[in-house]
Amino acid sequence: MELFYFSSILEIFQENAFQIDQTTVNYLMRIVKIVNDLVKKKEIVRVYQPQAFDPEDFERFTLQRTLRCHPAIEMCLFSGCAPAAAGNQGIQPIPGTSKGTTTTKNNPPQKGKEAPRELPKDLKEEEEEEGDTSSDDSSSGESSEEEGNKKKQKKFDLKAKKKELKELKELIKRKKRERKTEKQLKQDFTLKKNTTMVLMMWDETINQNVAIGEKIMNLPIYKNITDDLEKNLRPEFPDVKVYIFGSRKTGLGTYTGDLDLFIDVKNYYNFPLKDKEESVRIIDKVRAVLSKPNVPWGRFVSITHARTPILKCFNREYKISCDLSFCNGLSHINTALIRYLLTLQPDCHRVACFIKAWYKSIFFSRQEANKVSSYMITLLVIFYMQTIKLLPPIYQLHNTTGKPLMIGDWQGDFAKPSLAELNIRVSNNPKNILVGFFQYYSSFDYKTYVICPLLGYPIERQLFDTPELLPDEMIRYKEFVQKLTPCPENSKELLATDTTICVQDPLELCHNVAKGVHLPLFVKFTKLCKKSGDYLMNF
């Protein structure tokens, strides 16, 4: 709250070469006391200090733009210290100024000795009353205590009203969201024309997307881009190294997709950068370096509020958008794992390409599509193929002998056995897998189970409330939980199992990659899975 403490009026007079007599000073101090009391009672809300002193402009001088001009302040100010109201009496020149003259903004200099200030009648009576009150100290003490209790009660009531109003607003918002969600849940979704075309031409869709993914997986420009980044960043970060990850390196990329890059500026590959503030500082430094003249980078957007802070930018030389991250190398290892699984079982690659094209066709807006990541869709495909024994669970690939490669708290190394070594048959019927995929996820019990590619089968959500009951294959997650100190802040580090859908990351086991999927979007996804499965089966 911005307040004009009226003791500053003294400074205004002094700046205009005035000296105020002691009587006026006493009244000014009384005004300060009244203002402080009224502020505590919330009877005045906001008072502006004037830019310059103007005795004739009383409204601007005192309480301009206030919500309420309190009578006590108005009376004291007008009669006690406004020179225009008192006839400019009682104001003496400061020593060193021209003798017998006074100067104001609106009054010309006056010669001669000024008569002493004549106090207004109402203030005289008030002064006399103050003299009488000295004999009633006991009664005034009781009244001040009672007044103090009233102030406290009034303050308490005001807080209670504010709290009640806030709760009412939140209730209204919640009711609106519930009505909107209820309406969306009752909505009967139909397949759009684009989705129908994708389903009708499922084989062509697969072949086209697989060809594109394979073509852009190893473009020569990637090496040029990483070399350019390392060259420009090395003066600031001598040990910098750039790694490519994401859909463009797994074989699921498209021409319009971004190029994901992990920039290891200080050996953060194996030792993750957990300090978010440090990540933001690195982003600012990298942005400053790449913004220099003659550097082919631009269109910078720093996204620092995300779970993993990134710097979005555009390479003008090769006309490609890039997402730069700086936290750890787990994303790079994850890309290698996804690529291995897609090549291990050819139908896995085909089905993943088709489902990616399908889910883009079912959404009505880009905002909806961004809630369901390409990585989540890929994990859904991998998990379904694990349940039908066409892919191995991830824990079978981890190194169980020797010292494992650890990226922070998570194991990053994995073996690459063939299908024959895993005793898994080769699949060559993508249409049946697609129909099974749609049927499986249209009837999956999302409320009870977690989708867990690490194990290759669904696991009950409630087991994560007591981690010691989890299977032995979850040893890394158990160790991670034991390291955390029990407190509300650390609970956010655990796997979020209270969401609509829970899809556990196969390496970073505390990460639910479907955390951003809200209920209406989930309902739409499951209903369209059912309709797409029926359509494809009858086609």
Q: Do 205 and 290 share a structural domain? A: no
Can you give the length of the chain in residues? Answer: 539
What is the rounded distance in angstroms from the CA atom of residue 522 to the CA atom of residue 185?
10
The pair of three-digit structure tokens given for residue 522, joined into one six-digit string: 């989930």
Residue 512, φ and ψ in degrees, nearest 5: -95, 105
286 and 369 both lie in a single domain: no
Residue 489 lies in a domain: yes
The amino acid that residue 341 corresponds to is L
Task: Say if 47 falls within a structural domain.
Answer: no
Predicted confidence at residue 537, as pLDDT, reads 87
SS3 content of the chain, % helix, strand, coil (to 5): 55, 10, 40
Q: Say whether both 471 and 374 belong to one domain.
A: yes
Is position 94 within any domain?
Answer: no
For position 156, what pLDDT does the model report? 79
Instruction: Give the DSSP H or E segment for 250.
Output: helix 247-250
In this predicted structure, what is the pLDDT of residue 194? 80
Give the pLDDT confidence score for residue 86 in this predicted structure.
36
Q: Do 277 and 410 reside in the same domain of the chain? A: no
Rounded Cα distance between 182 and 69, Å, is 50
- 31-59 burial: b if 16+ Cβ within 10 Å, else e: bbebbeebbeeeebeebeeeeebebeebe
**Cβ atoms within 10 A of the Cβ of 66, count?**
16
Q: How far apart are CA 395 and CA 397, in angstroms?
A: 5
Is 197 part of a structural domain of the chain?
A: yes
Q: Which of 269, 303, 330 is the last residue of a domain?
A: 330
pLDDT at 82: 40
344 and 465 inside one domain: yes
Residue 477 pLDDT: 94
Give the per-residue pLDDT at 10. 44
In a domain, 260, yes or no: yes
The pLDDT value given to residue 490:
67
CA distances in angstroms from 172 to 168, 176, 182, 239, listed in the order given: 6, 6, 15, 54
Q: What is the pLDDT of residue 400?
A: 65
* Rounded CA separation 298/315 (Å): 7
Q: In this structure, what token pair is assigned to residue 102?
A: 């006074």
Same domain, 234 and 254: yes
> 314 with 243, same domain?
yes
In a domain, 63, yes or no: no
CATH code of 287's domain: 3.30.460.10
Are residue 204 and residue 224 in the same domain, yes or no? no
Tokens linked to 142: 């009781």
251, 214 contact by CB (below 8 A): yes
Residues 274 and 381 in one domain: no
Q: Three-state DSSP class for 318?
A: coil
The CATH number of the domain holding residue 402 is 1.10.1410
Q: How far is Cα 358 from Cα 430, in angstroms, rounded to an integer?
A: 14
Q: Please count the structural domains in the chain.
A: 3
Task: Answer whether 91's CB lies under 8 Å from 19's CB.
Answer: yes
**CA separation (Å) from 77 to 22, 28, 70, 83, 493?**
16, 8, 11, 10, 60
270 & 348 share domain: no
Residue 131 within any structural domain of the chain: no
Q: What is the pLDDT along the chain (539 residues), one digit of tens a residue?
A: 334 444 444 444 444 444 455 666 666 667 767 777 776 666 555 444 444 444 444 444 343 434 334 455 545 544 444 433 333 333 333 333 333 333 334 444 444 444 444 444 444 454 454 455 444 555 566 677 777 777 778 777 888 878 878 887 888 877 776 676 666 656 666 777 788 888 888 889 999 999 999 999 989 999 999 999 999 999 999 999 999 999 999 999 998 889 999 999 988 887 777 777 888 899 999 999 999 988 999 999 999 888 888 999 999 999 999 999 998 889 999 999 999 999 999 999 999 999 999 988 887 566 665 667 889 999 999 999 999 999 999 999 987 667 888 888 899 889 999 999 999 999 989 999 999 999 999 999 999 999 999 999 999 999 999 999 999 999 999 999 988 866 656 677 889 999 999 999 999 999 999 988 888 888 888 888 999 999 988 87
Q: What is the DSSP letter of 133?
A: G
- Amino acid in the structure at residue 88: N
At 51, which amino acid appears? Q
356 and 410 co-located in one domain: yes
Domain boundary among 330, 360, 390: 330
Taking the C-alpha atoms of residue 246 and residue 243, their distance in angstroms, rounded to an integer, is 10
Render 367-381 in DSSP notation, one character per residue: HHHHHS-HHHHHHHH
Q: Is residue 77 part of a domain?
A: no
Residue 325 sits in the same domain as residue 454: no
C-alpha to C-alpha distance for 255 and 320, rounded to whole angstroms: 9
Residue 181 to residues 185, 352, 520, 522, Cα–Cα distance (Å): 6, 30, 6, 11
The boundaries of the domain holding residue 231 are 217-330
Domain boundary among 330, 362, 382: 330
